[in-house]
Structure 1
């Protein structure tokens, strides 16, 4: 069982959950049960600095674009469990097709996509009139791309691995600020 189970169990505990491993013996396989508490939209997220975010924040529609399926699906699942509508695209072309008949409040995009990079994607998305109020966040493993991300049209940049809770708090604050200024 090594370190993997220990690390996974500790990660579950850090999120207020449990991870239990069970087996009936050699050759009988193993069963792993991960239990996490579900966050409801009525709960109050807490900003890392301890400043509460409004519990009355409306759910957001979020498009996650990342060619790493595990990363994309995990981020989408986090936001879905937090009460937001999510869609996932694993390529820039899928993202463009997704927004043809849908207007997300937020687009979270990786930079290193297989068909075109995230910079080109955000430039194309910014040209679409119905996405003018959309918030675009680059989620990237590239270390020195902050200026390039902002220049391309992203509103913010977060390094990988993304802290989904911190990202959600940022988005709630940003969306609340944008709605007050409109």
Structure 2
């Protein structure tokens, strides 16, 4: 993805590579500074390298770890809470996502342009 230092930084996290890449491509085309992580480990690596996302589009079911746990760990590592957008293929998680501090919730398959509408500009 292209780096735009004066544009909002977005982290897309999904263990489904095609989903993550398609979201990142659309957001990149919309001018966001976009990075992709396919696992919780990659999230840690990006943050460790200094990436400071303004918002995170995060799959709730990452297989090896819950997106809820990843969000908590990410916020702790950043020392702040970016805009958190839950993206999930499981119905019935919207209330939990709100309780866990997510600002927005989308059910897969979500339109990347709709998700972009809730991201910082």
- Scaled by the length of structure 1, the TM-score of the pair is 0.59
Where structure 2 has 5 or more consecutive residues not aligned to the other structure, the ranges are: 1-5
2:15 corresponds to 1:74: no
Equivalent residue, structure 2, for 1:95? 43
**C-alpha distance after superposition, 1:77-99 (max 9, x if no partner):** 00111111111100111112211
**Greater length-normalized contact order (CA 8 Å, ≥ 6 residues apart):** 2
Equivalent residue, structure 1, for 2:3? none
Runs of 4+ in 1 over 4 A off after TM superposition: none
Worse-superposed segment, 92-101 or 122-131: 122-131
Structure index of larger Rg: 1
Equivalent residue, structure 1, for 2:92? 144
Q: Say what the alpha-carbon RMSD is for the aligned residues.
A: 1.6
1:129 CA displacement: 4.3
Give the conservation status (yes or no) of the 8 Å contact 1:65–1:91.
Answer: yes
Equivalent residue, structure 2, for 1:55? none
- Alignment map for 1:60-139 (pairs within 5 Å): 60-100=8-48, 101-132=50-81, 134-139=82-87
Paired residue total: 115
Give the conservation status (yes or no) of the 8 Å contact 1:103–1:130.
Answer: no
